[in-house]
């Protein structure tokens, strides 16, 4: 299928873009013209990525089993990578920190590369997934995850920058990194909330219960609780810096376990 | 908790306890602590199998872990006393914070007690009227609203305010959580969940409550006419469909299909497609070929005798005797001839030749299965309450994150040389950006009248 080939090209594109950023950074050549070209390349890749997702959607209709390409681990990983790339581009424009892209791209590349190991054929939708809630639920969850991923990257940078004075000079200011850690969660958190609420509405419709303490549900709640503790610590207790960064890392660990780890526990979300 | 220690030791015991409790339940530290405890507890619940009898943990778990599981109800953790207690503390904490915060909103709405996050002065601005006109022009363009104007001695005060309703973001979010928890409690006390398995062609008026296992009557009867399992060409299931009639006093009250993601609701009780099970044979098709090669199809239904045309033979599909082991039984046909002992034939494989009866050869051609459909029964009056809470939560988020309560006060005073201007402002979000915009607009407004 063309969409699968496109995904392969996009993966190597992201990889070369990441390598380009790294070389530019190591040689200290993050001059404005280089930055501009690298960013333009990233945006171009993201557009191709978008069209690959759209094409897969069209291909599924041509096969007569049309459904949104969000129905299994392969498709959700592609969408997760797409969301993270989008979040990185938005964060780059908002905060002007290229290092964020440098450290965020490996996450995107790794996620895309992981899909090489999976079955990429388009399968018809099983009855449990035949619902209009699917699209809203999955999109909201992954946009939330993407926000948390950006926060995680900034948190790592902040922790590294605090630990090493040598790197500190080459990284954005602590204040800016702290802002990115906080503001990305501020965007991700309501998205995750929408994801959980739409998931609950769907569960009520499909299983007759809006909450069943299924491991995926429970872990998404754990993630939500960690990030709400994060926001309360920031807004009401005025926490900043290292403690916020550590909470952000903890939250992203919960995100990753919600996404990947839960598959090792028995539950209802077995198709993801 | 640390706050309660700070309460005045000289006050009476009851009073200090009350103060301590009040400060405990209005403290954000409590919130953060409870959020972490809930998160940690939820994780435990995904590791230890839930809704499993405690005895099963005696094997494979250490005796200490087993005792801990029994004492803390870890095998049905989300309903244990201490988990519910954590949720109650969270709810009280939320209500405490709401009580603290909500009374301030009306004051803030009217602008009382507003703290300005920045202020700056222009001691030497131009003529009052010119400054006023140009500042009003710039600021109205920036704030996209017209100012409230108050004339005071020697000058004028201009106030711009936007997005005051952002003040409702906080209470809506936190009230939403309380309402969701309330909905959960209503469901816990008044809701019921269960399961019923009904064979095609059968009618049932009761269901088994989960997890207690007791049988309860339904206010109506469910008649299952048909269960259909459709597959894609790849063999994967496409649709599970139960065609049902709901009977009230013997009359059909509602007729419809129950599919996955498509429940049927009647009198507040919802029926969901949960599972299915083949329970027997609906019919078996046989083909009888006579000497001339002419074929006749026969459909045998359990225990319904069928006469083989132009012959003395009568065929009957025997109802399978359920075996205690639960193995599938081989279908059997009884061939009966008047005056003879009935003969039993087992059907083992497709296209099997079963018997030669007179000039006719009997061949097995096919079968269809009789299914029992498993329906989940759900009644939860708390659900609408939960949705109301979710709605409040989401509206609260939109207000808190996508609107920005901000205001600017410009005080222009007449001086000997012209005027002095004092600007102060505040913004809930994006403070720095807001301040920069205001400064730029005001400076722009100051320079223009002077340059004229």
How far apart CA A234 and CA A184 sit, in angstroms, is 13
Helix (H), strand (E) at residue B84? helix B81-110
* Domain B114-163+404-451, CATH homologous superfamily name and number: Sirohaem synthase, central domain (3.30.160.110)
| Chain B interface disruption, residue of A213, A220, A247, most B CBs within 10 A | A213
Q: Is A227 on the interface with B (CB under 8 A)?
A: no
Using the 8-state DSSP alphabet, how is residue B285 labeled?
E
Locate the domains of chain A by residue range: 1-125, 126-272
How far apart CA B102 and CA B233 sit, in angstroms, is 60
pLDDT, one tens digit per residue, over A86-98 is 999 999 988 888 8
Query: Is there a contact between B232 and A209 if contact means CB atoms under 8 Å apart?
Result: no
Residue A124: which of B32, B238, B260 has the nearest Cβ?
A: B238
Tell me the backbone φ, ψ of residue B407, rounded to 5 degrees: -155, 155
* pLDDT score at B297: 84
Contact by Cβ (8 Å): B318, B333: yes
User: Is residue A204 exposed (0-12), middle (13-18) or buried (19+ Cβ within 10 Å)?
Assistant: buried
CA dihedral A182, A186, A189, A190 (to 10 degrees): 180
Query: Is there a contact between A126 and B378 if contact means CB atoms under 8 Å apart?
Result: no
User: Which A-chain residues 113-132 have CB contacts (< 8 A) with chain B?
Assistant: 123-124, 126-128, 130-131
Residue B193: which of A190, A205, A209 has the nearest Cβ?
A: A209
Q: Is A2 on the interface with B (CB under 8 A)?
A: no
* pLDDT score at B77: 80
Tell me the backbone φ, ψ of residue B372, rounded to 5 degrees: -115, 130
CA distance B47 to chain A (A): 8
* pLDDT score at B321: 57
Q: Tell the residue number behind the tokens 């096919």, with chain if given.
A: B366
Check pLDDT > 60 for residue A258: yes
| Chain A interface disruption, residue of B260, B262, B268, B389, most A CBs within 10 A | B260
Using the 8-state DSSP alphabet, how is residue B43 labeled?
H
CA distance B261 to chain A (A): 4
CB atoms within 10 A of CB B104: 12
Using the 8-state DSSP alphabet, how is residue B331 labeled?
P
Tell me the backbone φ, ψ of residue B172, rounded to 5 degrees: -65, -40
CA distance A223 to chain B (A): 8
CA dihedral B133, B136, B142, B146 (to 10 degrees): -130
Three-state SS at B398? helix
Residue of A nearest to B191 (CA): A209
Q: Which residues of B touch A204 (CB under 8 A)?
A: 383
Encoded tokens for A138: 């999955």
Q: CA A223 → CA A198, A215, A227, A230, A241, distances in Å? A: 16, 12, 6, 11, 20
For the segment A94-108, the average pLDDT, to the nearest whole number, is 89
Q: CA B117 → CA A186, B128, B159, B216, B378, distances in Å? A: 21, 26, 15, 63, 53
How far apart CA B385 and CA A190 sit, in angstroms, is 20
Query: Is there a contact between B31 and A232 if contact means CB atoms under 8 Å apart?
Result: yes
Encoded tokens for B188: 């816990």
B52: left (phi over 0), alpha (psi -120 to 50) or beta: beta
Query: Is there a contact between B387 and A201 if contact means CB atoms under 8 Å apart?
Result: yes
Under the banding of pLDDT at 50, 70 and 90, the label for residue A83 is very high
Q: Is A135 on the interface with B (CB under 8 A)?
A: no
User: How many A-B residue pairs are in contact by the CB < 8 A criterion?
Assistant: 104
Q: Which of A125-134, A172-181, B113-122, B336-345 shows the lowest per-residue confidence on average (mean pLDDT)?
A: B113-122
Looking at every residue in chain A, the average pLDDT score rounds to: 88
| Chain A interface disruption, residue of B33, B35, B241, B429, most A CBs within 10 A | B35
pLDDT, one tens digit per residue, over A192-214 is 999 999 999 999 888 888 988 88
CB atoms within 10 A of CB A54: 12
Q: Is A12 on the interface with B (CB under 8 A)?
A: no
* pLDDT score at A61: 87
Query: Is there a contact between B32 and A194 if contact means CB atoms under 8 Å apart?
Result: no
Locate the domains of chain B by residue range: 2-103, 114-163+404-451, 167-189+382-402, 190-279+373-381, 283-321+328-365
* pLDDT score at B3: 41
Q: CA B97 → CA A230, B18, B88, B122, distances in Å? A: 17, 16, 14, 41
Using the 8-state DSSP alphabet, how is residue B262 labeled?
B
Q: Which residues of B touch A193 (CB under 8 A)?
A: 393-394, 397
Residue of A nearest to B385 (CA): A210
Helix axes A215-235, A241-259, angle to 10 degrees: 170
Spatial CB neighbours of B63, under 8 Å, sequence gap ≥ 6: none
- B206: β partners: B217
How far apart CA A16 and CA A4 sit, in angstroms, is 19
User: Is residue A270 exposed (0-12), middle (13-18) or buried (19+ Cβ within 10 Å)?
Assistant: exposed
Print pLDDT tens along chain B (452 aa). 344 444 444 456 777 888 888 888 888 888 889 999 999 988 888 887 777 777 777 777 777 777 877 777 777 788 788 888 999 999 999 999 898 888 888 888 877 556 777 888 888 777 788 888 888 888 888 888 888 888 888 888 888 888 888 889 999 999 999 999 999 989 888 989 899 999 988 899 999 998 788 999 999 999 999 898 888 887 888 889 999 999 998 889 899 999 988 899 998 899 999 888 888 888 888 888 888 888 888 888 888 888 887 778 888 888 765 554 545 567 788 888 888 888 888 777 776 777 777 778 888 888 888 888 999 998 999 999 999 999 999 999 999 888 888 888 888 888 888 888 888 888 887 788 888 888 888 887 776 554 33
How far apart CA A84 and CA A81 sit, in angstroms, is 5
């Amino acid at each position: 299928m063309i969409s699968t080939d496109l995904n392969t090209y996009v993966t190597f594109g992201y990889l070369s873009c990441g390598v380009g950023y790294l070389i530019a950074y190591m040689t200290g050549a993050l001059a404005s013209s280089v930055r501009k070209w690298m960013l333009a390349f990233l945006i171009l890749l993201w557009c191709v990525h978008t069209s690959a997702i759209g094409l897969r959607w069209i291909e599924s209709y041509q096969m007569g089993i049309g459904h949104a390409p969000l129905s299994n681990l392969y498709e959700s990983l592609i969408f997760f990578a797409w969301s993270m790339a989008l979040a990185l581009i938005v964060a780059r424009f908002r905060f002007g920190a290229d290092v964020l892209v440098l450290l965020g791209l490996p996450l995107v590349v790794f996620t895309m590369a992981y899909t090489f190991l999976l079955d990429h054929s388009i399968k018809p939708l099983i009855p449990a997934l035949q619902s209009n809630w699917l699209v809203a639920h999955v999109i909201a969850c992954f946009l939330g995850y993407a926000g948390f991923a950006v926060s995680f990257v900034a948190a790592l940078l902040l922790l590294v920058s605090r630990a090493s004075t040598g790197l500190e000079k080459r990284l954005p200011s602590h204040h800016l990194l702290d802002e990115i850690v906080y503001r990305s969660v501020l965007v991700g958190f309501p998205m995750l909330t929408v994801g959980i609420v739409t998931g609950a509405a769907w569960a009520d419709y499909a299983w007759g219960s809006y909450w069943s303490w299924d491991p995926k549900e429970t872990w998404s709640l754990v993630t939500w609780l960690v990030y709400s503790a994060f926001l309360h610590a920031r807004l009401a207790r005025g926490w900043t810096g290292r403690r916020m960064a550590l909470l952000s890392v903890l939250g992203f660990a919960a995100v990753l376990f919600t996404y990947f780890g839960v598959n090792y526990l028995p539950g209802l979300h077995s198709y993801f | 908790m640390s706050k309660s220690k700070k309460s005045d030791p000289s006050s009476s015991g009851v009073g200090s306890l009350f103060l301590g409790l009040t400060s405990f339940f209005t403290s954000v530290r409590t919130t953060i602590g409870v959020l972490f405890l809930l998160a940690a507890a939820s994780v435990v619940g995904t590791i230890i199998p839930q809704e499993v009898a405690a005895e099963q943990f005696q094997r494979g778990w250490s005796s200490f872990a087993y005792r801990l599981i029994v004492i803390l109800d870890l095998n049905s953790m989300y309903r244990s006393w201490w988990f519910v207690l954590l949720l109650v503390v969270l709810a009280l904490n939320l209500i405490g914070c709401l009580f603290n915060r909500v009374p301030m909103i009306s004051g803030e709405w009217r602008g009382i007690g507003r703290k300005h996050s920045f202020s700056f002065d222009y001691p030497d601005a131009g003529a009052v009227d010119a400054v006023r006109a140009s500042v009003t022009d710039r600021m109205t363009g920036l704030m996209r609203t017209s100012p409230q104007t108050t004339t005071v001695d020697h000058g004028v005060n201009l106030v711009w305010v936007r997005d005051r309703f952002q003040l409702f973001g906080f209470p809506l979010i936190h009230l939403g959580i309380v309402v969701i928890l309330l909905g959960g409690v209503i469901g816990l006390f008044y809701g019921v969940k269960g399961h019923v398995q009904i064979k095609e062609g059968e009618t049932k008026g009761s269901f088994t409550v989960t997890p207690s296992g007791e049988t309860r009557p339904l206010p109506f009867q469910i008649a299952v006419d048909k269960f259909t399992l459709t597959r894609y060409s790849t063999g994967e299931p496409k649709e599970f469909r139960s065609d049902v009639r709901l009977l009230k006093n013997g009359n059909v009250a509602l007729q419809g299909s129950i599919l996955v993601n498509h429940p049927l609701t009647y009198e507040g009780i919802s029926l969901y497609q949960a599972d299915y099970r083949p329970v027997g044979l609906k019919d078996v098709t046989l083909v009888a070929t006579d000497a001339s090669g002419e074929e006749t199809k026969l459909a045998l239904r359990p225990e319904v005798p069928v006469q083989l045309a132009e012959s003395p033979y009568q065929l009957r599909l025997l109802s399978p005797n359920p075996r205690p082991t639960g193995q599938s039984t081989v279908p059997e046909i009884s061939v009966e001839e008047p005056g003879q002992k009935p003969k039993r034939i087992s059907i083992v494989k497709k296209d099997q030749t079963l018997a030669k009866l007179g000039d006719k050869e009997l061949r097995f051609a096919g079968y269809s299965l009789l299914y029992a459909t498993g329906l989940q029964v759900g009644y939860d009056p708390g659900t609408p309450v939960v949705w109301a809470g979710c709605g409040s939560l989401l509206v609260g988020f939109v207000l808190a994150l996508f609107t920005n309560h901000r205001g600017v006060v410009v005080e222009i005073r007449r001086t000997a040389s012209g005027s002095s201007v004092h600007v102060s402002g505040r913004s809930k979000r994006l403070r720095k950006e807001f301040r920069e915009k205001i400064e730029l607009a005001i400076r722009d407004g100051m320079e223009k009248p002077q340059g004229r």
